[in-house]
Amino acid sequence: MDKKVIIFSAPSGAGKSTIVKHLIKKYPFLEFSISATSRQPRGSEKNGIEYYFFTTEQFEQLIEKGAFIEYEEVYKGSYYGTLRSEMERIWDKGNIILFDIDVKGGINIKRLLGNNALSVFVKPPSITELRNRLMKRNTDSQDAINKRISKAEEELGYESQFDYVLVNDDLQKALIEAEKLIEEFSSR
Ligand code: ADP
Ligand code: 5GP
């Protein structure tokens, strides 16, 4: 069987986690790739569940060893990356890897894996709606929201580098569109 991956990238607040969670629940053959990070766990996050947590020194040693297929300093001082060992763990079970990863990481993985990867850019209907969703989600300070919005404006410039742009306006419609993409890609 081909070693396949599906990548979801989006500006923060576009609804990527909502869509990815739905897909993981619906399709048992999809398995979420747990990234490594050097940021601190937030809230109830646990090592090996949301992320593999490392210190900056440990993360830099893993970079030296070539343990990552890709990594980025997504926010200043915080590394995020995908371990090659994590990908093998999922493929060994015969599953398709689902990535929830930042826009640059998504483009890099697509470039490395070509036709074995489906890359999807989740797009908010507008920047105003993106701001509304981040405010409603109530997980970020006003300052953090402003930073995420200015990053989002830059990220929207990369949408043409993805295989598919999924506009998340009406959530039910976006979920059905996402299911179609998964079913078509997994059966080809
Ligand atoms: P991301 O993972 O892209 O940062 P989330 O999935 O956390 O985004 O979604 C951001 C917020 O917007 C959440 O509170 C979520 O419930 C809400 N949301 C997601 N999709 C929609 C939609 N189509 N319409 C309105 N609100 C949405
Ligand atoms: P958070 O700190 O909110 O969990 O995630 C911050 C950002 O890091 C998100 O945009 C997320 O998609 C991105 N991210 C998570 N894992 C990886 C990874 O393995 N590689 C890259 N490049 N970005 C990641």
pLDDT in tens, 103-113: 999 999 999 99
**Rounded mean pLDDT of 152-165?**
95
CA 77 vs. chain centroid, Å, equals 19
Instruction: Give the angle subtended at the CA of 130 by the CAs of 44 and 172, to the nearest 5°.
Output: 80
What CATH number did the domain enclosing 86 receive?
3.40.50.300
Residue pair 125/169 in contact (Cβ under 8 Å)? The answer is: yes
Instruction: Label the pairing between strands 78-83 and 96-100.
Output: unpaired
Cα 133 to ligand 1 centre (Å): 6
pLDDT surpasses 80 at 1: no
Check if 165 has its Cβ closer than 6 Å to any atom of ligand 1. no
**Rounded mean pLDDT of 55-76?**
95
Check if 39 has its Cβ closer than 6 Å to any atom of ligand 2. yes
Q: Which atom of ligand 1 lies at the shortest distance from residue 137's CA? A: 14
Q: Which residue range is the domain that position 130 belongs to? A: 5-187
Check if 13 has its Cβ closer than 6 Å to any atom of ligand 1. yes
Number of domains composing the chain: 1
Check if 18 has its Cβ closer than 6 Å to any atom of ligand 1. yes
Residue nearest to atom 3 of ligand 2 (CA): 12
Cβ atoms within 10 Å, residue 79: 21
Check if 13 has its Cβ closer than 6 Å to any atom of ligand 2. no
Cα 65 to ligand 1 centre (Å): 37
What whole-number percentage of the chain has pLDDT above 90?
85
Query: What is the C-alpha separation between 116 and 71, in angstroms, rounded?
Result: 20
Q: Which atom of ligand 2 lies at the shortest distance from residue 35's CA? A: 19
Render pLDDT for 23-57 as a digit per residue (tens, 0 to 9).
999 999 999 999 999 999 988 999 999 999 999 99
